[in-house]
Amino acid sequence: MKLVIDNLSKTYPNGVRALTNVSLRLTNGLFGLLGPNGAGKSSLMRTIATLQEADTGRIFLDDLDVLTNKTEVRQLLGYLPQDFGVYPTLSAERLLDHIAQVKGVGNKTERRALVEALLAQVNLFADRKKQLGTFSGGMKQRFGIAQALIGDPKLIIVDEPTAGLDPTERNRFYNLLSSLGDNTIVILSTHIVEDVSTLCSRFAIISRGEVLYSGEPGEAIKAL
Ligand code: ADP
Ligand code: ADP
């Protein structure tokens, strides 16, 4: 897969200019979007996820014009917003089964197999019957990845997933994310340099709505 973002700009109705001529090219693997709070990361990700409009610019996922084909894009997309909500009294397996049902995945037996495989993949199989309200921050983020993986997405967008995780949880999350990238574009937004240096094959630095750098982490990361 290839994601091409071409000259994207966005000013909110209150006059805040969140994105200015953002152009990026992404291929399969983990791509880090690094920038401080307020840089425009969420605005860019919501636009790619077809949840908000841009003023100018275009986005292509292979040959698909993203901004004018929302339904098709959403079928190819796993999107995990910052502070995504869970239903605290539902068990992990119950909520995943419900989401799979909404997304039209198979019959009851097939969904059960999928849900158990996903929970094993994110290392929550033993916790599958626990209420989501009892999950730690790290467990919740890993659960979010399982949720985003339903429907076999080709593009996965994760907004600030490691913020607030302790080092152990962060490492578990790194292991999980690095297992995803081969046939999928994974975009990870973060303000944590270590997320990029540990995980990402390519990254961009975004500040005040503008891309300041885009390339491989190597030397650029050491300079930060
Ligand atoms: P980041 O995700 O990097 O923290 P955001 O994309 O959330 O950055 O925000 C970029 C800028 O746009 C900030 O100044 C933010 O306050 C502003 N902003 C974000 N969403 C909206 C909105 N819906 N309406 C107005 N301004 C917004
Ligand atoms: P963050 O900067 O932490 O990434 P988000 O961009 O996710 O925050 O914003 C959370 C919510 O608040 C979103 O619905 C966004 O549209 C809205 N929002 C953010 N900044 C502003 C702002 N300056 N004015 C109005 N709404 C905003």
Instruction: Convert the pLDDT of each residue in 144-153 to its tens digit.
Output: 999 999 999 9
Which residue among 8, 12, 83, 207 has the greatest number of ligand 1 atoms within 8 angstroms of its CB, and so is best to mutate?
12
Q: Whose CA is nearest to atom 5 of ligand 2?
A: 42
Residue percentage of the chain with pLDDT more than 90:
83
Residue nearest to atom 20 of ligand 1 (CA): 43
Determine the residue of 34, 37, 42, 157 to mutate for testing ligand 1's pocket, defined as the one with the most ligand atoms within 8 A of the Cβ atom: 42
Query: What stretches of the chain show up as alpha helix (H) in DSSP?
Result: 41-48, 70-75, 92-102, 108-121, 137-149, 167-178, 193-199, 218-222
Q: Can you tell me the distance from the alpha carbon of 149 to that of 206, in angstroms, rounded to the nearest whole number?
A: 26
The helix (H) or strand (E) run that includes residue 208 is none
Compute φ and ψ for 32, nearest 5 degrees.
-95, 135
CA of 20 to the centre of ligand 1 (A): 13
Alpha-carbon gap, residue 78 to 147, rounded angstroms:
8
- 3-class DSSP state for residue 79? strand
pTM, full prediction: 0.89
Count other Cβ atoms within 10 Å, centred on residue 92: 28
Share of the chain above pLDDT 70, in %: 100
Protein residues whose CB sits closer than 6 Å to any atom of ligand 1 = 12, 14, 16, 18, 35, 37-43
CA–CA distance, 95 with 41 (Å, rounded to integer): 28
Whether the predicted pLDDT of 224 surpasses 80:
no
Q: Per mean pLDDT, which range of 12-21, 45-54, 96-105, 200-209 is the poorest?
A: 96-105
Strand order in the sheet with 17-27: 17-27, 2-11, 56-61, 64-65
Among the bound ligands, the one closest to the CA of 44: 1
Per-residue burial over 176-192, b if 16 or more Cβ lie within 10 Å, else e, is: bbeebbeebbbbbbbbb
CA 122 – ligand 1 centroid, Å? 30
Predicted confidence at residue 85, as pLDDT, reads 87
SS3 state at 136 = coil
Place of tokens 């059960």: 112
For the Cβ of 82 lying below 6 angstroms from any atom of ligand 2, the answer is: yes
Q: Tell me which of 48 and 179 has the higher pLDDT.
A: 48
Helix (H) or strand (E) holding 65: strand 64-65
Parallel/antiparallel/unpaired status of strands 2-11 and 17-27: antiparallel
